[in-house]
Amino acid sequence: MALAQVRGFRGLHYNLDRIGDISSVLAPPYDVISEPMRQELVARSEYNVVRLDLGDQPVGTPPDERDYGASARLLDQWRADGVLTYDPKPAVHIYEQLYQAPPPRNDLVRRRGIVLAVKIEPLGQGTILPHEGTLAEPKEDRLRLSLATSCSFSQIFGIYDDPTKKLEQVLREDMGEPLWRFTDEQGITHTMWKVDDPEGLEQARKTFSDTVIVIADGHHRYETAVTYRDRMREAYPGIEDAPWEYTTMFLCNVAHRSLTILPAHRMVRHLPQELLRNFEAKAAEFFDIIPVAVQHQPDQRRRAVNELLDLMASKQHDSHVFGAYWGRSYAVALRLRDKNTALKLYGQGLSETQQDLDVALLHAIAIRGLLGQTEDLAKTSGRGNIYFERDPLQCLADVDEGRAAMALLCNPTRVEDVLRVARAGERMPQKGTYFWPKPLAGIVMYDMRPDAPTLQ
């Protein structure tokens, strides 16, 4: 197996003397920003990274209509004006997010990871593994931005498993005072350190020389980085150790148990009334059905949803459990009782790995089998009869208000399942994971121009 190659780099940073409040210039990753959010971020600061990452055009503007050159010109201006400055020598960065985990965990979680330059390799053919598929349009958008700016504004989020935690021990000794710290409007405290000590850089190289990196978030950006590298190799042949041979990643050790994955619940817009009337009886062939009363008063409804989610979570350790609601006075928890029979009828095409994956079973048995929904979610991506909703209260509201016929709630995918799928060379179903919170864009940028000092 090829070995992962990592190194420190001279990052491009916001100059705090110029921009003042660091919280005003950072932003979520481009793919979770709505148009109202983009406008709010632009209003926070003339230097907000969203002006580079998404530009001044509305979210959803097709690549053919985007002015990527405007981002490039603005980036050049900020570098020339000293808004952005380089690290004086190669370094790694430690980025921490302290956050309140959502129910049922509810505890305070400290997620700390390391930002490194990682040598690009074909995805899934070496030590960098995917766990989900990608779509063509987002990759085209990111490629055009990369070609115009020769810069990446955010990190690909990766996870790895190192029970020894040796890297963290070495880096902790050299962290010193943070570069900055702030708490955002969600109550998440973000902190950034820089480590340029040779011992820390060497330990990073050792750690990742014999471990697998699984992409948690940023598959489109990684595949874009591969294509960009290939384009630059053609344009600049013979340049060794060029910055485009690497991409930057934010890497978290799963051994710390600091990762949170949120579920994306499945919503079915339209279903025949007869199917809805018979759904509970059909489901009872394979599932134990546990009703949970649902009231219309907001507080009572919230308690009912929490009861349903708690019930689902309590049984996840030894069974597969889903929630369903289709507009009556109660929701139901569906605990899979007869998995073998259900798989014989509806499990065609599921690998052994997928047969133990909650979200894959939900699609195979409930959505395709019991409800007869066969659309390819990788192609429709929420625009067909099935869409995704992360807020369980909103799921119920969508059913009650006629936007959906049925809500199907699922437990969060477990981190160990993500690793298992990736190591098996397979992909999760569409929207099978949502790692939260997202690492912010703009914490450190990566200049990929041929004459950039990035790797010097």
Domain boundaries, the chain: 6-259+436-447, 263-411
Q: Give the confidence band of 380 by pLDDT, cuts at 50, 70, 90.
A: low
Whether 56 contacts 42, CB under 8 Å: yes
Q: How far apart are CA 337 and CA 84, in angstroms?
A: 58
DSSP string, 179-224: SEEEE-TTS-EEEEEEE--HHHHHHHHHHTTS--EEEEE-HHHHHH
The predicted-structure confidence for 151-184, as pLDDT tens digits, reads as follows: 999 999 999 999 999 888 888 877 889 999 999 9
Characterize the bridge pairing of strands 156-160 and 246-253.
parallel
The predicted-structure confidence for 33-55, as pLDDT tens digits, reads as follows: 999 999 999 999 999 999 999 99
Q: Which residue has the higher pLDDT, 379 or 130?
A: 130
pLDDT at 1 over 60: no
Residue 456: both structure tokens together:
């010097």
Predicted confidence at residue 8, as pLDDT, reads 95
Q: Give the confidence band of 317 by pLDDT, cuts at 50, 70, 90.
A: confident
Q: Where on the phi/psi map is residue 150: left (φ > 0), alpha (ψ -120 to 50), or beta?
A: left
410-440 as b/e: b if 16+ CB within 10 A: bbbbbbebbbbbbeeebbbbbbbbbbbbbbb
* Total-model pTM: 0.92
pLDDT at 297 over 90: no
Q: How far apart are CA 35 and CA 342, in angstroms?
A: 43
In three-state secondary structure terms, 424 is coil
pLDDT at 382 over 70: no
Residue 318 is inside which H or E element, if any? Answer: none
In three-state secondary structure terms, 112 is strand
The predicted-structure confidence for 175-211, as pLDDT tens digits, reads as follows: 889 999 999 999 999 999 999 988 888 888 888 888 8
Residue 112: both structure tokens together:
């700390």
**Percentage of the chain surpassing pLDDT 70?**
98
Predicted confidence at residue 6, as pLDDT, reads 94
Query: E-assigned strands of 254-340?
Result: 260-261, 265-268, 287-293, 321-325, 330-336
In this structure, which long-range contacts are made by residues 136-143, counting pairs with CB atoms below 8 Å and at least 24 apart in sequence? 137/62, 137/63, 138/31, 138/220, 139/220, 139/223, 139/224, 139/227, 140/63, 141/63, 141/66, 142/220, 142/221, 142/224, 143/224, 143/227, 143/228
77-98 as b/e: b if 16+ CB within 10 A: ebeeeebbbbbeebbbbbbbbb
Helix and strand element counts for the chain (H, E): 15, 21
Mean pLDDT score, 274-301:
92
What 8-state DSSP symbol labels residue 441?
B
Predicted confidence at residue 378, as pLDDT, reads 60
Characterize the bridge pairing of strands 213-217 and 128-129.
parallel
Asked, as a colleague might, if the bond just before 412 is cis with ω within 30 of 0, I would say: no
The predicted-structure confidence for 219-260, as pLDDT tens digits, reads as follows: 999 999 999 999 999 999 988 889 999 999 999 999 999 999
Residue with tokens 């919280």: 23
